[in-house]
């Protein structure tokens, strides 16, 4: 019974990896690999957002300063061609997932 389950799990993983959806998902990650600065900037923004959220929760007005920094970094990110390509692919990927969910 355990072998049967393991074989089915292996088959499921192989089916997923060979699917067009997984292939598209992998391409999205490859886009970010083109420019390491994008990944670093995204991580930096996430950390700053967490920090700002904690400060705001504590009623510390310093969160406003951090929000300004976040806004500047988001503008830099949004003006990056590779990041725009990433957003376009993410959008297509999400649409395909939604379309598949609506079929089911």
pLDDT digits 0-9 by tens, 23-50: 877 888 888 888 889 999 999 999 999 9
Q: What is the mean pLDDT of residues 80-89?
A: 90
How far apart CA 89 and CA 52 sit, in angstroms, is 29
Distance separating alpha carbons of residues 7 and 41, to the nearest angstrom? 41
pTM above 0.75, yes or no: no
- Provide the mean pLDDT of the chain: 88
Q: Is the pLDDT of residue 89 over 70?
A: yes
- Alpha-carbon gap, residue 16 to 97, rounded angstroms: 13
DSSP states along 4-59? HHHHHHHHHHHHHHTSHHHHHHHHHHHHHHT-HHHHHHHHHHHHHHHHHHHHHHTT
Predicted pLDDT of residue 104: 58
Query: How distant, in Å, are the alpha carbons of 11, 44, 104 from that of 30?
Result: 25, 20, 29
């Amino acid at each position: 019974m355990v072998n049967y389950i393991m074989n089915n799990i292996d088959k499921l993983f192989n089916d997923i990896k060979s699917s067009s959806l997984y292939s598209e998902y992998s391409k999205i990650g490859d886009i970010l690999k083109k420019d390491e600065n994008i990944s670093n900037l995204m991580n930096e923004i996430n950390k700053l957002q967490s920090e700002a959220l904690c400060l705001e929760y504590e009623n510390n007005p310093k969160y406003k300063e951090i929000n300004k920094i976040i806004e500047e970094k988001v503008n830099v990110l949004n003006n990056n061609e590779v990041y725009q390509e990433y957003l376009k692919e993410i959008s297509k990927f999400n649409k395909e997932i939604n379309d598949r969910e609506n079929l089911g």
